[in-house]
A and B are shown apart, each in its own frame.
Chain A
Amino acid sequence: MSASLELGLPQPVARRRGSGVGAVYRVELAKIAAQWLPRAAATACLVGPFAFAIFINTQSSVPGDSLFGRWVHSSGFAIPLVVLGFSGIAGFPLLASVVAGDIFASEDRQATWKTVLTRSCSRSDVFWGKTLAALTYSTAIVALLAVSSTIAGLVVVGRQPLIALSGEPLAPGRATALVSESFAIALLPTLAFTCLGILFSVTTRNSMAGVLGPPVVGLVMVLLALLGSGVVVRSLLLTTPFEAWHGLFVDPTRLEPLGVGFLVCAAYSILSLDAARRSFRRRDFAGDARPGFSWSRTARGAAVAVAITAVLVVAVVVDRTWITSKRVEDSVSATFTNLVAVQQQLLGHADEAGAFKVYPYCKRESVISGPSTGAGDDWNCQLFVTGPHVGRLQVDYSLTIKPNGCYTAEGQPSVIGPLHMKTADGSVAVNPLSAFDGCMIAP
């Protein structure tokens, strides 16, 4: 070794500016690209939808308990929407936190803070560079899943029209646009979960807690949402905006959940990042030793989490439901009317939905007197239909309504025919009236 490096010593000290957020961002992206876990997650997002579509296509049954699940054999556009529905529960929070939950804590694990923070970047540069890199990864993952699942659906199933949640058929171009917009909407809560992952990563300094924390929070929120169908508490949960895309598939389009979801996601993101930034800025990097396990700290954290959850449980239970028999009747009759038109078109009759009149009467079996409200699997709807080729008809449907307002209606085969029907051109198609899904959008 010899000291022959040019040091430029005679010059006065020039305050060389830190190379800034951009440099940290580029470095973090390079590190993400070099690590196996983010690459494995991205590969899963790329390959998973194809495996799912191929598997589904080989099965005779369909995932009927998922929105659009009953259409996975009939339209390739149903595939990305089923994937989106699954991912919103725990997939996106987990995928987002693969990087976000580890991006700060990994520097503690590898004892590399002293290496990073002794370069020409301020802590602020480091914080925002890492945050931007995590947000970029989350965005890339959502985009990758959107593209791969859409292509998988189109390649494996085909580009047939998709039946919307209001029962009207969507042409391939419109369906493509709505699928893209749906994933774009899901990006908002995904980014908010990314910010939550960053908060976990900074404050716990533990990769495991950083990566698993956000999905656990998401799962608790999903469970909370199942307890009641009130508007207020549901609106405050970060998992609710994952369902805002439902509003795109009803007629007329309902964007209120998107607006509320945007505000909720922004609030979670800003609060998480602000708390993380403060914690990071005031931290003393005094040693490589990682904080040991502390029973008292863990107990305090658990007590706070349990208290918040208990308050939310009570709030969810006492929150007034927005699901009323009037809203159920409006939604079911509109969807049913459109589906009758779809069925008649399959049978070779060019009747528009407006040609049919539907008079609904919906109530819960368990309610003996008083108004029927709330989620449950004991709803019944009697639909009185008049129109060309159907004459006057009464159809009874059993409804299972979820707390988020989405429902599955199953009819009597003796009146509406079997699951599959023969179309005018002799092919076999799913009878759109045998069972259908719909969604009421919360006010």
Chain B
Amino acid sequence: MTEIPAVDVRGLTKSFGDVAALDGFGLRIPPGEIHGLVGPNGAGKTTLLRVLFGLVTPNDGSMRLLGEDWASDTTMPGVGGFVEDPRFYPYLSARRNLELLAELDGADPARVDETLDLVGLSDRAERKVGGFSSGMRQRLGLAASLLRSPRLLLLDEPTVGLDPKGVREVLALVTGLAADGATVLISSHNMPELDGVCDGVTVMKEGRSVWDGTMERLRAESPAPAHRLWTSDDARAAELARQDPDVSAVADPEGGLTVQADRDALDAYVLLLGRDGVAVRRLELLMTALESMFFELTGVPVGRSSAQDQPDEIGAAT
């Protein structure tokens, strides 16, 4: 029997004026999977999530969520999450905001305290949301999503604004939800952050999918990590690198060398430099393997914006 995908979108197209935010985009996510959606800013990640939530009507294409065709302007039952930074009514407390959202969902009001506790906001439940930090709003957004008992969770950059502890907690929560059977789609422009969390990954660029597969396959296909190396004799160091097929070294315009090699080859290369009388003055990681892969696929270094940075932020078109 064929497994019905939790997300099955085909040929999604959405343009804002002359800008194509989605250009025939397709995606299949098996149920229970945590799937990463990565790409530089402006790749179309947020537009895709808005389409999946029913906030934006695509120009073309089809989508099936949790096995059902969905072409409504309403968020489908069983689907929860948020796009961009979650926003709430600033003049109401966190609890009151969730109570009103529970009313809109027809959800049990008792779940409000449950979800506040789950995201670690119980002690701030009576505070007005207007005074919340971005990280606290992220947590509240997660709580609001969980009120809907989602079988499909769509999260747009859920760790933005969180401290490292908060990031760990959110990712642990997501992992736990997936362990209970939920399917999770997380968008991020930070691929390494998703390493160890996601089962599968789709890399987006300019509204299209440029890579799609499992995390293991992505790691396997990733180029070696890149390092910046400063030595006492960069010319000699480059010459020694040319003798080793597992090491690539090119002069960096800003000084030093950019060296691409996996861990073992790099160890051997550094030892070789020492034996040859070339002192290593500084060695720093430039890009992990996943970051290198991201760069190779999108042409944009991790954490930087693409030149085509507008579609996700375009003002609403009527």
Q: Which residues of A contact B (CB under 8 A)?
A: 1-10, 12-19, 23-24, 26-27, 30-31, 34-36, 110-123, 205, 279, 281-292
Contacts and interface: CB of A to CB of B under 8 A. Distances in A.
B181 A288 contact: no
A1 B170 contact: yes
Given A6-B149, A285-B50, A110 B84 contact: no
B133 interface: no
Contacts of B179: 3
B89 A112 contact: yes
A122 to B, nearest CB: 4
B314 A287 contact: yes
Contacts of A23: 103-104, 106
A270 B185 CA distance: 42
B313 A287 contact: yes
Interface in B154-196: 169-170, 172-177, 179-182
A8 B75 CA distance: 18
A31 B90 CA distance: 11
B90 to A, nearest CB: 7
A299 B87 CA distance: 33
B317 A110 contact: no
Given A18-B74, A284-B316, A119 B104 contact: yes
A123 to B, nearest CB: 5
Nearest to A288: B84
A331 to B, nearest CB: 51
Given A1-B172, A282-B318, A292-B315, A27 B104 contact: yes
Given A2-B176, A19-B105, A118 B82 contact: yes
A24 B80 CA distance: 18
A288 B85 CA distance: 10
Given A19-B104, A23-B104, A289 B74 contact: no
27 contacts: A1-B118, A3-B118, A3-B173, A5-B111, A7-B182, A9-B151, A9-B180, A10-B181, A27-B100, A27-B104, A30-B96, A110-B90, A114-B82, A114-B87, A116-B104, A119-B101, A120-B104, A120-B148, A123-B73, A282-B318, A284-B57, A286-B47, A286-B316, A287-B315, A288-B84, A288-B87, A292-B315
Given A2-B176, A10-B181, A286 B314 contact: yes
Contacts of A5: 111, 114-115, 118, 146, 149, 177
Contact of B151 (A13, A287, A289): A13
